[in-house]
Amino acid sequence: MTQTNHPDLWRSTLPRPGADSHKHSRGRLGVVSGPALRTGAARLAARAGLRIGAGLVKVFCPPDAAMVLAPALEAVMLDVFHDADELQRLAAPMDAMIIGPAAGLTDATAANIAALQRNGAALVIDADGLSLFEGRAGDLFAGLDRDDVLTPHAGEFERLFPGLLDQHGREGAARSAAATAGAVVVLKGADTVIAAPDGRLSVNRNGSPWLATAGTGDVLAGMIGGLLAQKMDSFDAACAAVWMHAEAGRAVGPGLISEDLPDRIGPVLGALLT
User: CA-CA distances (angstroms) from residue 258 to 51, 195, 247?
Assistant: 14, 25, 13
Residue 15 falls within a domain, yes or no?
no
Residue 236 falls within a domain, yes or no?
yes
Phi, psi values for residue 261, rounded to 5°: -70, -45
Question: Model confidence at 27, in pLDDT bands (50, 70, 90)?
Answer: very high
Residue 90 falls within a domain, yes or no?
yes
Q: What is the pLDDT of residues 137-165, one digit of tens each?
A: 999 999 999 999 999 999 999 999 999 99
Q: Tell me the one-letter amino acid at 192.
A: T
Residue 81 falls within a domain, yes or no?
yes
pLDDT for 231: 97
Question: Model confidence at 2, in pLDDT bands (50, 70, 90)?
Answer: confident
Residue 196 falls within a domain, yes or no?
no
The mean predicted confidence, pLDDT, of the chain is 97
Residue 230 falls within a domain, yes or no?
yes
pLDDT for 10: 98
Does the pLDDT of residue 68 top 90, yes or no? yes
**Cβ neighbours of 40 (radius 10 Å):** 19
Pairing mode, strands 201-203 and 193-195? antiparallel
Count of domains for the chain = 1
pLDDT for 186: 98
**Cβ neighbours of 160 (radius 10 Å):** 23
Q: What is the pLDDT of residues 40-55, one digit of tens each?
A: 999 999 999 999 999 9
- Distance in angstroms (rounded) separating the CA atoms of residues 57 and 167: 40
Q: Could you give the angle at the alpha carbon of 47 between the alpha carbons of 24 and 30, nearest 5°?
A: 50
Does the pLDDT of residue 1 top 80, yes or no? no
pLDDT for 208: 93
Does the pLDDT of residue 212 top 80, yes or no? yes
How far separated are the first and last CA of the chain, in Å rounded? 29
pLDDT for 243: 98
Count Cβ neighbours within 10 Å for each residue of 204-219 and write b for 16 or more, e otherwise.
Answer: bebbbebbeeebbbbb
Residue 163 falls within a domain, yes or no?
no
Instruction: Identify the CATH number of the domain in which residue 259 sits.
Output: 3.40.1190.20
Q: What is the mean pLDDT of residues 207-211?
A: 95
3-class SS of residue 204: coil
Instruction: List Cβ neighbours of 131 (8 Å cut-off, separation of 6 or more).
Output: 105, 156, 159
Provide the domain limits for residue 99. Answer: 22-153+208-273
Residue 192 falls within a domain, yes or no?
no
